Amino acid sequence: MPTEVGAQNWLVVGLGNPGLEYAKTRHNLGFMLVDMLAQRWQTRVTRDESRSLIGRAEFDRQVIELVKPQTYMNLSGEAVSGLLTKDNRDVTKLIVISDDLALPFGTMRIRPKGTHGGQNGLRSIIDCLKTQEFIRLRIGIHPEHPIRDAARFVLENFSKGELEAVEKILETAADAIETIIRDGAEAAMARYN
């Protein structure tokens, strides 16, 4: 049974770039996690709204809308701000998932608010919403070796070896999203950061 009428829906937004050529790139971890959650919660992310693809699911008696903005990473805020104009959506129940080049590969950071940290999708959302007060889950993509061209690196496909690890990382991140929804961001931070 979903939450009562008038309750706010959760908006779980995975950042990435649309198109098959970007599907398995490092910059698309947000999309990949939304796809995994959709599979876990038995829904499809196909409805078109506010320059995004959306799927609706229920978890822990709450309504969750899974979102993949189709604006490309650097304009993610335009899609997210458009989605938040509906009465049953509010920034207090917004979770944004992004890759993070500042974090070592496979590590995860959950924060209830904060800066963009150089991530252009988060920067766009903060600029468009005029607030940093939303939950974010960042997944590290920095390799053990130095990177010469960060812009190129984030748009490269994961290596075969990395892809095997990515599946496990995404499973853990999906558990973290469920913990945020069920128990709150602080509980998820204590368990997964």
Query: SS3 of 131, please?
Result: coil
Q: Which candidate in 27, 116, 142, 145 is catalytic? A: 27
**CB-CB neighbours of 118 under 10 Å:** 11
Distance set, CA 76 to CA 16, 26, 58 (Å): 9, 16, 24
- Which tokens belong to 48? 């078109």
Q: Is 145 a catalytic residue?
A: no
* Phi-psi group of 22: left, alpha or beta (phi > 0 → left; psi -120 to 50 → alpha; rest → beta): alpha
Q: Give me Rg for the CA atoms of the chain.
A: 15
Active-site positions read 27
